[in-house]
Structure 1
Amino acid sequence: MTAPRLRDLAPEQALRRLEIVIVRRLDGLLQGDHLGLVPGPGSEPAEGREYAAGDDVRAMDWSLTARTAVPHVRDRVADRELETWALVDATASMDFGTGRVEKRDLAVAAVAAVGFLTDRTGNRIGAQIVGGSGARLVPPRTGRPHLLALLRALLDAPRTPQDAPGGRFLGAGADLLRRTAGARRGLAVVVSDFLEPAESWVRPLRLLAVRHQVLAVEVVDPRELTLPDVGLLTVVDPESGRRRDVPTASRRLRERYAAAADERRAAIAAGLRRAGAAHLRLRTDGDWVRDIAWHVMAQRRLAAAAPGPVPGGAA
């Protein structure tokens, strides 16, 4: 029997399910109080280790070196108190899903993963929700009640039949978030399918990354990557409302569709690199808990290996 989707559950049931999955499974995989979502050195001292070629000499632990007679450095961990902002895409294209969940549900899960794993340390989290019905601000606060209220706002974000043609919500949302977050450095998590033209959001994200660490969570559905052979298929663009009959029995058409999808994914990845954002891709038919854990562990290894600041991390 297929498990009910988040939208099929009462808000309290949906949030409770997310919390159980994240705290029991993801927290067990990561084993840490702070979710290191993006690379970059922090300010709190961690364990000492032997010096290796390429290590920053400014991280030398002279006390430990004197006791062991072997050069040692002291690693750093991310700062405990962090202000996190989530920029969440609630446009019509997110109301789609042929996998285990809708893209909108996956966006809520991604924000929940960040929130549940960081709220215990006193971090503040806020959100900017953008879509065809306008932008909604959830100011950053601490505590589990606030986090649950934020996630409930994401679940309750209005669904619009379609967005205004040519709408550029993501870039405008990033500009608004940059002005709202102010000069205090923090983490900005941008959750979207990034289907808007890259030129509309690359520069705003790059400006956001000047003061903040930026993690881009790209949500993808398998039908956006490949087209199955199901005969004549009527498709509707959720953002423009346009309808088209597609003869999916054509092998050439399916190959062209897959090639165009690969090109779009490559353009999105290139745009996020230009913006200086760390990139995490989640699929509606995949194991999003595992994918988040792998991303975090990979970024931790990258941060530990880097002698200095790395792209997408803290300066």
Structure 2
Amino acid sequence: MTAPRRDDDKLAQLAPERTLRRLELQVTRRLDGLLNGEHLGLLPGPGTELAEARLYQPGEDDVRHMDWAVTARTTTPHVRDLVADHELEAWALVDLTPSMDFGTAAMVKRDLAVAALAAVGFLTVRLGDRVGAYLQHPGGLRRWPARTGKAALYALLQAVLDAPTEPGTGPPARMSGTTATAGAPHGDLAAAITSLARGQTRRGLRVVISDFLPPAGADPVTDPDAQPAWESPLRRLAARHQVLAVEVIDPRELDLPDVGLVEMTDPETGAVHEIVLSRRTRRRYAEAAAAQREHTRAALRRCGVHHLVLRTDRDWITDVARFAVRQRRAAGRAVSTAGVRP
């Protein structure tokens, strides 16, 4: 008998369908009409086609949906329901550059990216809609075509796990379903977002999963007014699509432990440095990390996208559930928070 592959075990642990179904029962089933229709998804949004008129329910219905013609004819307030959009496509851009292979807690950031993609994917394909992805790994940008069904989604998740971690290795055999995409060199998140926007013009959900770390040479601490290179293409993407930015972070990227002399390796360049983690060094590092996160948060806010933060030392399902509740509250709809820990 052949022992199961470790990656398969990891996939079952990161993206268990049963766990996501439990998430639906606890939170998303109580959130009426998510994504662009009757989806149990992460972002609020009604459909676009007009349906039948019905009586207005004070405190429950949005007055912007008031059907004034029927209201005038019947002298009773009526609203017009909206039919959900179907046959949608959700596209994700997954950052698989070397910095995503870092992790000091329950999982590395790449594994958490798989979990985020699984959450979006399973809550999208349940109604037969398609999910596709652009995978930005060291070999370049690869496009995974949009397909329906959970089997295709599991194949996509496995492709993310199998993506190479070293530059120049090229896509492995398991990624044979992908196609190369020009114009997005290694590590260039801005070019990858531009490729996603140009390649997929049909309106829908777009998810960008990354740690949003600045490239070598960019320093948001010394130049806080500098705009991230990815901000302009992300703003253009958000002008046409519903965009969710998933920021993946590890606790050691926010502060350093008091362990004295350590060797640190830059995962992007491979440079090794010996650093003494003194109290002053740790304090300056924490301040720089906080400034970088605030710089990213402000840029995403200017782009007008939804921002979900996932940490490798936290329960990602709980964070996704809290995010969904916040989005519904922000949309002005009452929700039940049963099953969501404060």
1:65–1:72 contact (8 Å) kept in structure 2: no
* Match in the other structure for 1:309: none
Pairing 1:256–2:284 present: yes
- The whole-number CA distance in structure 2 between the counterparts of 1:295 and 1:78 is 22
* Match in the other structure for 1:234: 263
2:28–2:40 contact (8 Å) kept in structure 1: no
Choose 113-122 or 90-99, whichever is displaced more. 113-122
Change (3 A) 1:141 1:53: closer
Structure 1 residue 28, shift from structure 2 partner:
2.2
Structure 1 residue 213, shift from structure 2 partner:
0.7
For residue 233 of structure 1, what is the amino acid of its counterpart?
V
Which secondary structure state, in structure 1, belongs to the residue aligned with residue 136 of structure 2? Answer: strand
Which secondary structure state, in structure 2, belongs to the residue aligned with residue 188 of structure 1? Answer: strand
Q: Deviations over 1:191-250 (max 9, x none)?
A: 0000035521111111111221110000000000011101111111100111111211x2
For residue 131 of structure 2, what is the amino acid of its counterpart?
I
- The whole-number CA distance in structure 1 between the counterparts of 2:290 and 2:25 is 34
- The whole-number CA distance in structure 1 between the counterparts of 2:138 and 2:271 is 16
Which of structures 1 and 2 has the larger relative contact order (alpha carbons within 8 angstroms, sep 6+)?
1
- The whole-number CA distance in structure 2 between the counterparts of 1:110 and 1:159 is 19
* Match in the other structure for 1:269: 297
* Match in the other structure for 2:211: 193
* Match in the other structure for 2:9: 13
1:115 to 105, 114, 121: 121
* Match in the other structure for 2:106: 100
Choose 166-175 or 134-143, whichever is displaced more. 166-175
* Match in the other structure for 2:307: 279
Which secondary structure state, in structure 2, belongs to the residue aligned with residue 84 of structure 1? Answer: strand
- The whole-number CA distance in structure 2 between the counterparts of 1:257 and 1:126 is 37
For residue 143 of structure 1, what is the amino acid of its counterpart?
G
For residue 279 of structure 2, what is the amino acid of its counterpart?
R
Which secondary structure state, in structure 1, belongs to the residue aligned with residue 243 of structure 2? Answer: strand
* Match in the other structure for 2:238: 209
Which secondary structure state, in structure 2, belongs to the residue aligned with residue 121 of structure 1? Answer: coil
- The whole-number CA distance in structure 1 between the counterparts of 2:291 and 2:241 is 29
Scaled by the length of structure 1, the TM-score of the pair is 0.82
1:43 to 43, 48, 57: 48
For residue 131 of structure 1, what is the amino acid of its counterpart?
H
* Match in the other structure for 2:179: none
Choose 96-105 or 250-259, whichever is displaced more. 250-259
For residue 283 of structure 2, what is the amino acid of its counterpart?
E
- The whole-number CA distance in structure 2 between the counterparts of 1:285 and 1:66 is 58
Pairing 1:247–2:254 present: no
Change (3 A) 1:113 1:214: same
Pairing 1:289–2:289 present: no
For residue 42 of structure 1, what is the amino acid of its counterpart?
G
Change (3 A) 1:41 1:148: same
Pairing 1:27–2:34 present: no
Choose 87-96 or 44-53, whichever is displaced more. 44-53
Tell me, which stretches of 5 or more residues in structure 1 are unaligned?
1-7, 307-315
2:89–2:129 contact (8 Å) kept in structure 1: yes
* Match in the other structure for 1:180: 199
Change (3 A) 1:200 1:131: farther
Structure 1 residue 252, shift from structure 2 partner:
1.5
Query: Which structure's residues are more often helix, by fraction?
Result: 1
Q: Deviations over 1:171-207 (max 9, x none)?
A: 111111111112x111011000000355211111111
- The whole-number CA distance in structure 1 between the counterparts of 2:287 and 2:326 is 28
Pairing 1:142–2:148 present: yes
Structure 1 residue 289, shift from structure 2 partner:
0.3
Choose 271-280 or 8-17, whichever is displaced more. 8-17
Which secondary structure state, in structure 2, belongs to the residue aligned with residue 139 of structure 1? Answer: strand
1:19–1:116 contact (8 Å) kept in structure 2: no
2:136 to 130, 135, 144: 130
Tell me, which stretches of 5 or more residues in structure 2 are unaligned?
30-37, 170-184, 216-226, 335-342
- The whole-number CA distance in structure 2 between the counterparts of 1:142 and 1:53 is 34
Q: Which runs of 4+ in 1 moved over 6 A?
A: 44-49, 61-67
Choose 104-113 or 132-141, whichever is displaced more. 132-141
2:28–2:321 contact (8 Å) kept in structure 1: no
Scaled by the length of structure 2, the TM-score of the pair is 0.76
- Provide the aligned length of Structure 1 versus Structure 2: 294
